[in-house]
């Protein structure tokens, strides 16, 4: 892996860690618990980063537009607009992050 790819991977891990804390370790879509870091879990439960306003709709790749979600929740959401639960979780996470 190149040093640039390593740096991007580290930045991504740091974003996920910050958001997990800000979301109280709960999925940004369904609100259920996220698997602990490093824990073995099914592919469907694997934590992933979601762009609340999708990149396709012009959403930023910044903390203020990101939530950690289960892979299955992220896949189900796809490019649709965020629902009320997702917007509430984003507002709470952003407030805890001071954004
Ligand atoms: Zn979920």
CA of 4 to the centre of ligand 1 (A): 31
Contact between 62 and 53 under an 8 Å Cβ cutoff? The reply is no
User: Does residue 62 have a pLDDT over 90?
Assistant: yes
Name the residue with higher pLDDT: 80 or 91. Answer: 91
Mean pLDDT of the chain: 94
pLDDT digits (tens, 9 = 90+) for 63-78: 999 999 999 999 999 8
Residue 28 CA to ligand 1 center (angstroms) comes to 7
pLDDT at residue 37 greater than cutoff 90? no
pLDDT at 56 over 90: no
Reported pTM: 0.91
pLDDT above 90 for 79: no
Q: Which domain holds residue 13?
A: 3-96
Q: How many domains is the chain partitioned into structurally?
A: 1
Residue 55 C-alpha from the chain's centroid = 14
Q: What is the CATH number of the domain that holds 87?
A: 1.10.30
Residues bordering ligand 1, an ion, CB closer than 5 Å: 27, 29-30, 70, 73
pLDDT at 1: 79
């Amino acid at each position: 892996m190149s040093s640039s790819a390593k740096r991007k991977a580290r930045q991504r891990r740091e974003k996920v860690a910050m958001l997990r804390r800000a979301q109280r370790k709960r999925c940004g879509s369904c609100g259920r618990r996220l698997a602990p870091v490093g824990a073995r879990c099914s592919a469907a439960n694997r934590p992933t980063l979601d762009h609340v306003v999708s990149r396709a709709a012009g959403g930023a790749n910044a903390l203020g537009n990101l939530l950690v979600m289960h892979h299955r929740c992220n896949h189900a959401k796809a490019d649709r607009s965020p629902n009320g639960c997702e917007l509430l979780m984003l507002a709470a996470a952003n407030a805890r992050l001071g954004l």
